[in-house]
Amino acid sequence: MSETLETTYRDALRDAIREAMRADDRVFLMGEDVGDYGGCFAVSLGLLEEFGPERVRDTPLSESAFVGADIGAAIGGMRPIVEIMTVNFSLLALDQIMNNAASLLHMSGGQFNVPLVIRMTTGAGRQLAAQHSHSLEGWYAHIPGLRVVTPATLEDARGMLATALRDPDPVLMFEHGSLYPMKGTLATDAGAVDIDHAAVRRPGTDVSLITYGGSLGKALAAAALLDQDGVSADVIDLRTLRPLDDTAIVESVRRTHHAVIVDEGWRSGGISAEISARIMEEALYDLDAPVERVCTAEVPLPYAKHLEEAALPQPPGIAAAALRTLG
């Protein structure tokens, strides 16, 4: 058995960046306050000192320009990692992400691929209100040409970046803001992980709880509640929202015949709708109840703690939805 170390999600991300930068001179980190400040969420703390300002590059508050510049740099032979403080800010760079990063390869008939990794914070739960709390990864998962990954565990925080950097096309990595302080143990030799497949985080037989990112913990808590009711929940961590691992989703639903999708995004037109549609398309005749969805209430997220909590998916609500599917 390999040695383990106590670490956090934040440290695991930093170790992954450091390892990538040591291994490949083409890799560099760019974004607002990644250098002197150490990163808005302290992910890049200490990297400036090790790699210098050329490779840990503070940028002006110009999301569109620096994301676009990283796209250009990727085409020009570099392997940039760009950090955007929050998913809400990424909207200022949406033009570059969608119209350039995602489209150039196809538009050029296969001539220009964009090997770029864009990391950003997503999600609520920290009382940051309506301009720093949303979960828009589902939007990005709408776009052909992008890969969207959502590390929910220490292993994935440590291992997804290396694999993403090997991807010849743009990869968007969504880090749920509530996960940065998450503690746990990790093998000292932890490294690259697969980013093609979903994972069963808790096997069960009665109902599938399908989720990702910051909602994984809540789904696992709900599974514990359900256990008390004698209900055995199968908890699926999607890990990658684009391309979706249909096989894993369908395999679980075929076993349990009941499905609950837990997504911190909004319900209308969200990734939960997509997952539900795929279950209808591929596993309708295995369903013994309508698919349930537990999503964020359709409001811009409020500041007050009790309102924010009420707006977000919570374990009792997830458990109740699971029980509804079971009749």
Partner 1 sequence: MTTKPAAHKRRATREEHRLGLLRTMTTIRRFEEACVELYSATRIRGFLHLYVGEEAVATGVLAALGPDDAVVSTYREHGHALARGVPMDAVMAEMFGKQTGCSRGRGGSMHLFDKSVGLIGGNAIVGGGIPLAVGLALADRMQDRGRVTACFFGDGAAAEGEFHESLNLASLWRLPVLFCCENNLYAMGTAIAKEHARTNLAARASSYGIESAAVDGMDVLAVEEAAREAVRGIRAGGGPRFLELDTYRFRAHSMYDSDRYRNKAEISTWKERDPIDALVTALRAEGHLTEESLAHLESDIGEQIARAVAAAEAAPLEPVEDLTRFVCSEEVEA
Partner 2 sequence: MPSLGADMDEGTLLEWLVKPGDAVHKGDIVAVVDTAKAAVEVESFVEGVVQHLLVEPGTTVPVGEVMATFGETGPAPGGAPAPAVVPVERHPAPPVHSPLVRREAERRGVDLAQVVGTGPGGTITRDDVTRAAEAASALPTHPRPVARPTRISATPYARRLAEELGVDLATLVRSDGEPIRAEDVRTAASGAAAVPPTPEPEVAHVFRPDAMRAAIAALMTRSKREIPHYYLATTVDLTRALDWMHDRNRTLPVTERLVPAALLLKATALAAQANPTLNGLWIDGSFVPSKEVHLGIAISLRGGGLVAPALHDAANLSVADLMAQMRDLVTRSRNGRLRGSELSDPTLTVTNLGEQGVEVVHGVIYPPQVALVGFGRVVERPWAVDGLIGVRPVTSVTLAGDHRATDGFTGSRFLAAIDQRLQQPEEL
The residues binding partner 1 (CB under 8 A) are 28, 54, 59-60, 62, 64-78, 95-96, 99-100, 104-113, 115, 144-145, 147, 166-169
By CB under 8 A, is residue 316 in contact with partner 2? yes
By CB under 8 A, is residue 221 in contact with partner 2? yes
DSSP 121: E
- Which does residue 229 bind out of partner 1, partner 2, none, counting CB within 5 to 8 angstroms by kind? partner 2
> Is position 132 annotated as part of the catalytic site?
yes
Nearest approach, Cβ of residue 227 and partner 1 (Å): 40
- Which does residue 77 bind out of partner 1, partner 2, none, counting CB within 5 to 8 angstroms by kind? partner 1
Phi, psi of 288 (to 5 degrees): -105, 10
By CB under 8 A, is residue 317 in contact with partner 2? yes
Among 50, 194, 281, 288, binds partner 2 (CB under 8 A): 288
Nearest approach, Cβ of residue 230 and partner 2 (Å): 3
Length reported for the chain? 327
By CB under 8 A, is residue 315 in contact with partner 2? yes
Query: Of the residues 32, 83, 132, 175, which is catalytic?
Result: 132
Query: Of the residues 63, 83, 137, 292, which is catalytic?
Result: 63
Burial 274-313 (b: 16+ CB within 10 A, else e): bbbeebeeebeeebeeebbbbbbeeeebbeeeeebeebbb
Residue with Cβ nearer partner 2 (70 or 292): 292
- If residue 199 lies in a helix (H) or strand (E), which one and from where to where? strand 199-202
> Is position 63 annotated as part of the catalytic site?
yes
Q: Do 170 and 242 meet the contact criterion of CB atoms below 8 Å apart?
A: no
Beta-bridge mates of residue 111: none
Count Cα atoms within 13 angstroms, Cβ side, for 202: 22
Cis, bond preceding 290 (omega within 30 deg of 0): no
3-state SS track over 213-262: HHHHHHHHHHHHHHHHCCCCEEEEECCEEECCCHHHHHHHHHHHCCEEEE
Among 42, 91, 287, 297, binds partner 2 (CB under 8 A): 287
Residue with Cβ nearer partner 1 (165 or 323): 165
Nearest CA to 160 among 81, 239, 249? 239
Residue with Cβ nearer partner 2 (110 or 230): 230
Among 227, 245, 251, 282, binds partner 2 (CB under 8 A): 227
Cα Dmax for the chain:
60
Chain residues that interact with partner 2, rule: CB under 8 A = 221, 224-225, 227-231, 257, 284-289, 315-317, 319-320, 327
